[in-house]
Each structure stands twice: as structure tokens, then as C-alpha cells.
Structure 1
């Protein structure tokens, strides 16, 4: 049977920023309880009082704060180099039996040119190519027979080198995404390898995103 406490927990779990604010004791419980009267009344299908909700909020025990994890803090303080690459384009193509052949042609074309940014991601139904915009003519020619779903220009990539044990640290990506979300930064694409994490943003956000990621060290 649903209770006020279970409704409060359900709402907080769906809003991690709010849950974190409660764990840091920076929430006005009385004001929040008043805000939750209507949704909890609807969930329980009976009138509830803000005082009962406030009591449930004060008794709520959020999961252990990942931000206070010693191991997580150590990893965040030891993030490697942060590299920014601008003037990138993102192509999206429908998967086909010939898409990998086209992909191979691109690899042969760019070879080992270190000045060219290139990332290829294959999903179930579509694939993405992120590449330096200077190579657009080559991409257009090579993929001319593929079904293009989307194209976005004027993107920048911010790549972060992660410590070797990053895969054993719970909450690492959450901390990165949380910081970017708090800053109102929209991510256009995310690409990662075992020890490297890259976010793509529109060029207008790159300085703000770079600063937000740098502050993860603090």
C-alpha cells in the first residue's frame, strides 16, 4: 500500500538534483512540502497535509552521497589532460550492409593524420561519424550511396583522460553529467573508450563546458 513516505521517495528518486540538495541540507523542507501536496494527493487519491509530507522528507534517507566517496574524490582530483577540438561535424547514417565498407574508405583516406578528429559509433539502427569539418567533402563523396539521417556542424569535442581504475569507481560519469547539467549545457553526443571520455557540444557552449569540467578537480 502506498504511503506518504513511499510517494516522497518515488518523487525524489525521479529528481536526483532535488535528492542531492536534501542530502546536503540545503532545502527548505516546509516550502518543498507545500510544493508536494498536490502531486502526493494525486498519487494517494486522498487529501494529505504538508506537515505529514515534511515529516517524511526529514525522515528520508538518501543513498550514500557518491560525491563524498574517498575513491571518487581521488579520481576526480586526478583527471588527466582535457583536450578541446573544434570545427567538427556529426553525421548520422542508417545502418546498411555497405556502411562498414564506406567507413573503411574513410579510415584509409585520413590514415594516421593526427590533426583529423574522427570517431565512429554503430548503434542498432543507425551509426554516427564525428569528424573534422575539413573532411566534409570526402565524407559526402564516400557515403553518397548511404541514407543520411542527420548532419550537425559547428560542434566541439572536450576529451578527458581518465585514471586507469576509473571503471571501478561508481558515480564518476554521474558527477561529470551532473556538473554539465547544473550549468545548463546540452550534450550533443557522448563518445567514450576505457580511459577516455569525450562530450560533444555546440561551439557556443564549449568555453562554459570546459570550465565546468575543470572545476571537477575542486
Structure 2
């Protein structure tokens, strides 16, 4: 039986989503045993009764996901303030020798707009600027010499202040994004600093996004 238990555990742990669904009791154990039967027999080199596999699944000790789940729930109870901003644009430019200087000049120009939202994200080949609608005109003027790869409008942001221990806990971003994905919310961009995370979504999804994330705190 020890060999069966070890083999079943190894097979299940190869799929984090499977382990998660088991921990949340979302999977029919008998159906899972039938699914694993062929692989278990192959690894052990002999025919195994499906009932033994069912028993091995039911006897599995709480895994890594269960431990993360317990810590995450305590963590989410300590989430800080939520801030919502609407009327947001997303611009993506191709990186160039002049782009970073243009960004610096633009930021200096609009730094007094403290009520506006603005974020820069520099990648290897492209860079993204996320900014409030009122900054559209000056942004277009400053970046007219740069190659615009994409522009999305009618967006909104939800920013969450995270507890300081967020960088020490596994799965924080996974749980946040999973909650939104299950509700069919398309996350356009994710912006993070040490103790803040911002989700950029469409205006039509902002209420649903805010409610979903607030539910994690309750």
C-alpha cells in the first residue's frame, strides 16, 4: 500500500490545479482514481485495484496547496485600502534610444498632477505607460516621435495596499488573479511595487473586479 500511496501522491502533485481542486473538494475521488489507474499500474509494474487508489487519495496528507491556502486566508484579512481610478489609457511604445529620455521629460512635466494616475513599465523591447485621460493630450505631444505599438482606452484600475509580509508568502498573486479569472474578468495589465498591486481592467469590469477583490478581505 505504501508504494501505491507514494505513486498516487506523486502523480497528483505533478498538477497543482488537481491538488488544489482536491483540497477544495471539487473532484469526485472515484473518477480521479479511474483517471489515474493506468499511470499507477504502469509506474508500479502491476495491476492495481481502483479501490486501493481511492483509499490512497483519501489518505493523502494536506499538501503544499493546503498549507498555502491557510496562510493566504490570514494574509487577505489584513489587506489595506482599495483605490479605484476610472478614465485610464494604456499606451505601448517600441523601445528606442530616445524613449527613456522622453519618458523622463514627460514625467517631469506632469509630476504636479497628483490626482492623476500614471505608471511606467519598461520591458526588453517595449514599454508601457498607463495614464489618466487628462494626460492624453500632453502624452501624445511628448511621444509623437516614438513608435506607438498599441493604445487601449476606457480602462480603470483597482489598487490594493498589501501587508508588508506579502513578499514572504507564496501564492498571493496567484489567488488574486485566480479570483478574477474565475469571474471571466480580463486583466489588461498588472502593476506592482513592494507593497502595492494594481489591476488594470475595462471600465465595464471595474465594479465586478472591485467586489471580487473585496470578497477576499472578508
Q: TM-score, normalised by structure 1?
A: 0.81
Q: Give secondary structure in 2 for the equivalent of 1:198.
A: strand
User: What residue number does 1:96 align with?
Assistant: 96
Residues 50 and 9 (structure 1), Cα distance of their counterparts in 2 relative to 1, 3 Å cut: farther
Deviation at 1:121, TM superposition (A): 0.5
Residues 126-167 of structure 1, C-alpha deviations (whole Å, 9 max, x = no match): 111000122222222211111111111111110001122322
User: What residue number does 1:66 align with?
Assistant: 68
User: What residue number does 1:150 align with?
Assistant: 150
Q: Is 1:167 matched up with 2:167?
A: yes
Residues 53 and 93 (structure 1), Cα distance of their counterparts in 2 relative to 1, 3 Å cut: farther
* Counterpart Cα distance in 2 of 1:49 and 1:129: 58
Residues 102-124 of structure 1, C-alpha deviations (whole Å, 9 max, x = no match): 10221122122122110001011
Residues 76 and 107 (structure 1), Cα distance of their counterparts in 2 relative to 1, 3 Å cut: same
Cα RMSD for the two superposed structures? 2.7
User: What residue number does 2:184 align with?
Assistant: 184
Deviation at 1:55, TM superposition (A): 5.3
Preserved contact between residue 9 and residue 60 of structure 1 (Cα < 8 Å): no
User: What residue number does 2:126 align with?
Assistant: 126
How many pairs are equivalent? 207
Deviation at 1:35, TM superposition (A): 5.5
Preserved contact between residue 83 and residue 159 of structure 1 (Cα < 8 Å): yes
User: What residue number does 1:84 align with?
Assistant: 84
Residues 194 and 24 (structure 1), Cα distance of their counterparts in 2 relative to 1, 3 Å cut: same
Q: Can you give the 5+ residue segments of structure 1 that lack an aligned partner in the other structure?
A: none
Q: Give secondary structure in 2 for the equivalent of 1:165.
A: helix
Residues 193 and 55 (structure 1), Cα distance of their counterparts in 2 relative to 1, 3 Å cut: same
Residues 143 and 53 (structure 1), Cα distance of their counterparts in 2 relative to 1, 3 Å cut: farther
Residues 34 and 117 (structure 1), Cα distance of their counterparts in 2 relative to 1, 3 Å cut: same
Residues 69-96 of structure 1, C-alpha deviations (whole Å, 9 max, x = no match): 2xx4333112111010011011111111
Q: Can you give the 5+ residue segments of structure 2 that lack an aligned partner in the other structure?
A: 1-5
